[in-house]
Amino acid sequence: MTSRLLQIARIAARHRLDALASAEALAAGDIPRGVRWALRAWPGRWLPTPHRPPAVRLRLALEALGPVFIKFGQLLSTRRDMLPPDYAEELAKLQDHVPPFPGEEALALVEEALGADFRARIRRFDVEPLASASIAQVHGAVLTDGSEVVAKVVRPDIEGTMRADLEVLARLAGWIDRHIAASRRLRLPEVAADYAGTVLKELDMLQEAANTQRLRENFAGSNLLYVPQVHQDLTRPNLLVLERIKGLPVSQVEALKAQGTDLALLARRGVETFFTQVFVHNFFHADMHPGNIFVDVQDPQDPHYIALDCAIIGQLSKRDQDYLARNLLAFFNRDYRQVARLHLESGWVPQRTDEAEFERVIREVCDPIFAKPLTEISFGNFLIDLFRTAAEFDMEIQPQLVLLQKTLLYVEGVGRQLYPQLDLWETAKPFMERWMRERVGPLAAMRRFAERAPDVFEQLPRLPELIADTGRTLRRLESGLKEQQADTRKLEDAFARSQRRRRGQRAVGAALACLAAVLLWGPVSQAFSDNLAVFAGLLSALASSYLLVRA
């Protein structure tokens, strides 16, 4: 841990990360005074500042720190409600492409993982990698039945490095949360813990295989998304074997145009794919950046997406899913009062928030946006502006929505890159209205009853017994409630007696204290026998002290 902290400090010094905050900003912030003075006094602040802009220096430092920090920077780049625009844009450029480790070493890892299955199932293994990233690298291979596959091999010894870095991040997040009050709404410890769980899942190829298989089943027979087949019998904790797909990277727009691809249809299908994953399946690919998305253009007029790298998957609770859908529809319909009410009901903003004031501020943010043509409105940036506004009302960061917002930004970015005239609102609104009709209303109630009908009919013969049991239970509860009320009254009476007794003790103690003062006063004690007055005064003082302390 210590050596890693020293390494982090060296990289931070090399890129002058201390200069990211000016002395004025430090003075104005709520950073602990000791830390503020330490940063001001550090001699490195007088060294020449690199010519690169601060945001670029931060990106280069994160790249130098390795995979955990790179991915954390990528995650931060999606939180444009808490980052200045130049930092968000620069962090979005973070790439975790790293030099590959030797292909012979990858071959040895695959042979060890598969054992006898390697000779029996693998006809050819290409030692030259197809791609290399911070956690794993990909090699082409051919099975004995002639199937072309790719083998994703986890880098050796990467887990120990990642766990050490995650511990550093967790401690840093905890320290910031304890000492910087303004950061508490960000819930950094919770975000860091959620991020650690997400990153560690990327090391488990069995988990990625399960995610890939489920996503494939969700879109079986769909013209929206294709997911490669998983070779489960050849997959191990550090090895994932998938069908090798053929398609064009979604970022190669010119190549897609040359194929005659219907880009408008492709862009709309991207939006439909996102909303289907979130609101129909509640299981969404949360790392849909252009490097993980390909396009099948066998029929350019009917193109569909191909999804790779399903390590990071997002899900929402039913409550968050419902509130999110209602919020989106309220936005579409410009019902700002409903937006404010839903934020309060969901607990995203404190209950003490003035609903009318919150509605007014949301209206001020949204009305200028809706004044633009719909094709010029960025839905992702619109949500960012809304969250930034809600932060003024102490809205806490919702970690469960971070992956969702990140994915939406990716989807919208890809869609606009393919077809700049994409109207995400026009595509999404009918989908959301249809989803709400299916979830709310008489038809939805009838469908839920039909789903539960077998259970209802199974319990129907026991209905008289259940009613009788319910009556007995209610009578027992009523009797217990009466006993509790009686016990509560007894406690209240005992407490009242105790209070009266203590008040009496305080009064008597105060009187005795006054008597002791009088008896011990010189003129009074001389008027009586000195010894008798002093003895009586001391006795009164002791008695008053005892009574006052006891009271």
The full DSSP string for 230-273 is: B-GGG-BTTEEEEEPP--EETT-HHHHHHTT--HHHHHHHHHHH
Tell me the domain boundaries of the chain: 2-94+169-190, 97-156+204-244, 257-440, 464-550
Q: Which of 177, 287, 309, 423 is catalytic?
A: 287
Residue 287 annotated as catalytic: yes
Helix, strand, coil % in the chain, rounded to nearest 5: 65, 10, 25
**C-beta neighbour count of 321 within 10 angstroms:** 17
Q: Are 312 and 403 in contact (CB under 8 A)?
A: yes
Hey, what CATH topology would domain 97-156+204-244 get? Phosphorylase Kinase; domain 1 (3.30.200)
Tell whether the torsion through CA atoms of 57, 60, 66 and 67 is positive or negative: positive
| Cα(298)–Cα(259) distance, integer angstroms | 9
Phi, psi dihedral angles at 249 (to 5 degrees): -55, 140
* Residue recorded with tokens 């607990």: 347
Phi, psi dihedral angles at 135 (to 5 degrees): -100, -35
Q: What is the largest CA-CA distance in the chain?
A: 122
In this structure, of 197-206, 416-425, 433-442, the range with the lowest mean pLDDT score is 433-442
pLDDT score, position 265 = 92
- Residues contacting residue 196 through CB under 8 Å, at least 6 positions apart: 166, 169, 170
Q: Are 263 and 342 in contact (CB under 8 A)?
A: no
Copy the structure tokens of residue 443.
């038809």
- Residues contacting residue 325 through CB under 8 Å, at least 6 positions apart: 279, 432, 435, 436, 439
pLDDT tens string 123-158: 999 999 998 887 899 999 999 999 999 999 999 988
pLDDT tens string 475-524: 778 777 777 887 888 888 788 887 777 777 777 667 766 766 665 555 54
Please state whether beta strands 225-226 and 304-307 pair in parallel, antiparallel, or not at all (unpaired). Answer: parallel
Burial of 277 (C-beta count, 10 Å sphere; 0-12/13-18/19+): buried
Confidence of residue 71 (pLDDT cuts 50, 70, 90): confident
- Residues contacting residue 542 through CB under 8 Å, at least 6 positions apart: none
- Residues contacting residue 222 through CB under 8 Å, at least 6 positions apart: 304
pLDDT tens string 352-401: 888 888 888 888 887 777 766 656 667 766 776 777 777 777 776 666 67
In this structure, of 230-234, 363-367, 446-450, the range with the lowest mean pLDDT score is 446-450
Question: Which amino acid, 460?
Answer: L
- For 191, 196, 203, 344, the CA distances from 160, given in Å and listed in that order, are 21, 13, 11, 43
> Mean pLDDT, the chain, as a whole number?
79
| Cα(170)–Cα(126) distance, integer angstroms | 39
Angle between helices 67-77 and 54-65 (to 10 degrees): 140
Compute the CA torsion angle 461, 462, 468, 469 (nearest 10 deg).
-170
Query: Where does 269-405 show beta strands of DSSP type E?
Result: 284-285, 293-296, 304-307, 313-314
pLDDT score, position 512 = 63
Tell whether the torsion through CA atoms of 19, 22, 23 and 25 is positive or negative: negative
